[in-house]
């Protein structure tokens, strides 16, 4: 009887460079379910703009979205927390759950390219 090696856990892809194109390419490759919303938001908020003022806020939002979506375990955890909030009838519990989601999202802002 041959021993089977344990299935390697899928690795979390690294964060891309902090440019809209690099982020879009990473989303297309590793989290394609986000791409339609990313593109729609880009077209609405940035594509027809005559200044680049909205770009930092756009990047901050999608940096966080991608950081969570690229990690299936983290994505499932955040989704589960959000479902628990929606079902909660206890305001203190709901607030604590929302605080946990906010901390996760805030923490993704600190991720650097390559992490």
Please give the full DSSP string across the chain, using - where no structure is assigned: -PPPPPPPPPPPPPP--SSHHHHHHHHHHH-GGGHHHHHHHHIIIIIT-SSSTTHHHHHHHHHHHHHHHTSHHHHHHHHHHHHHHHH---HHHHHHHHHHHHHHHHHHTT--TT-
pLDDT tens digits along 79-112: 999 999 999 999 999 999 999 999 999 999 999 9
Q: How far apart are CA 90 and CA 86, in angstroms?
A: 11
What's residue 47's pLDDT? 85
pLDDT tens for 21-71 read 999 999 999 999 999 999 999 999 998 778 889 999 999 999 999 999 999
Among 2, 22, 4, 3, which residue's Cα sits nearest to residue 13? 22
Residue 1, pLDDT score: 45
| Cβ-based neighbour number of residue 77 at 10 Å | 15
């Amino acid at each position: 009887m041959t021993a089977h090696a344990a299935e390697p856990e899928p690795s979390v892809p690294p964060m891309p460079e902090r440019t809209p194109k690099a982020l879009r390419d990473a989303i297309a490759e590793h989290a394609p379910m986000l791409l339609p919303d990313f593109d729609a938001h880009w077209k609405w908020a940035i594509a027809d703009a005559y200044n680049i003022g909205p770009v930092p806020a756009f990047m901050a939002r999608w940096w966080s979205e991608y950081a969570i979506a690229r990690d299936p375990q983290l994505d499932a955890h955040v989704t589960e927390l959000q479902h628990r909030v929606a079902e909660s009838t206890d305001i203190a519990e709901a607030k604590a759950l929302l605080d946990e989601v906010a901390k996760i999202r805030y923490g993704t802002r600190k991720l650097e390219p390559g992490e």
